[in-house]
Amino acid sequence: MSRAINYTSLFKNIYFYRVSNPPAILPVSTINLTEYLLCKMSKTRKNILLTVLVLALSGGFISFYMYNKKGPDIESASAAKVSATALYWLFVKDSVSAKKQYAEKVLLVSGTVTGVSANQQAQPVILLKTGTQGASINCTLEAPATDIKKGDMVLIKGWCNGLGQGDADLGIAADVYLSRCYLEQ
């Protein structure tokens, strides 16, 4: 004689058993995890965790602020006037004093254009003559420069980043870099 199994009552019994006797490992959620951590941790570990959390949040806020910080307004800022040749030779002869005097400052540089090109962001780049073969004052413009040609005398206002690295072994001279530049008329 075969006996029929009543599946509905079997599933009801399993369901009620699970509800009345929950498993030892609950599904992980943030509430369960924080309750577990806060209840089971010693006071020292809680303080360390709180300190790490505060430091991480402050580092995030500082990074966000520095990333979104605006630099000085180059167009309206006062600038030190210098020729391209003099600026280059000051950096080559005594880079330490030239950095103190000109780096991270707004400069108004006059010189002769030796080349016009564009960088990877499609910004115009003007190279000014320095008197040294292969070396130049590298000026990245903020606005398009359509009417500038090789040999033109220009006056450029920009932020001096300092002397770039050349390679003496390969015979590549270093350039002085100006960024966020504008043409002065």
pLDDT of residue 146 exceeding 70: yes
More confident site: 40 or 63: 63
The residue with tokens 């599904």 is 27
- Residue 143 CA to residue 155 CA, distance in Å, equals 14
- 93 versus 166: the higher-pLDDT residue is 93
pTM, to two decimals: 0.65
**DSSP assignment string, 124-139:** EEEEEE-SSTT-EEEE
Q: Where are the domains of the chain?
A: 7-68, 80-184
Look up the CATH superfamily of 80-184.
Nucleic acid-binding proteins (2.40.50.140)
**Arithmetic mean of pLDDT over the chain:** 84
157 within 8 A of 181, measured Cβ to Cβ: yes
| Residue range 176-183: mean pLDDT, rounded | 94
Distance of CA 21 to the CA centre of its chain: 54
Place of tokens 């990333």: 67
| Those residues with Cβ within 8 angstroms of residue 59's Cβ, 6 or more apart along the chain or in another chain | none
Q: What share of the chain has pLDDT > 90, as a percent?
A: 55
Rounded mean pLDDT of 4-28? 54
Residue 10 has pLDDT above 70, yes or no: no
Please report the sign of the dihedral spanned by the C-alpha atoms of residue 61, residue 62, residue 68, residue 69: positive
Largest alpha-carbon pair distance within the chain?
Answer: 111
88-114 pLDDT tens trace? 999 999 989 999 999 999 999 999 999
Q: Decide if pLDDT at 179 tops 70.
A: yes
Contact indicator for 128, 109 with CB cutoff of 8 Å: yes
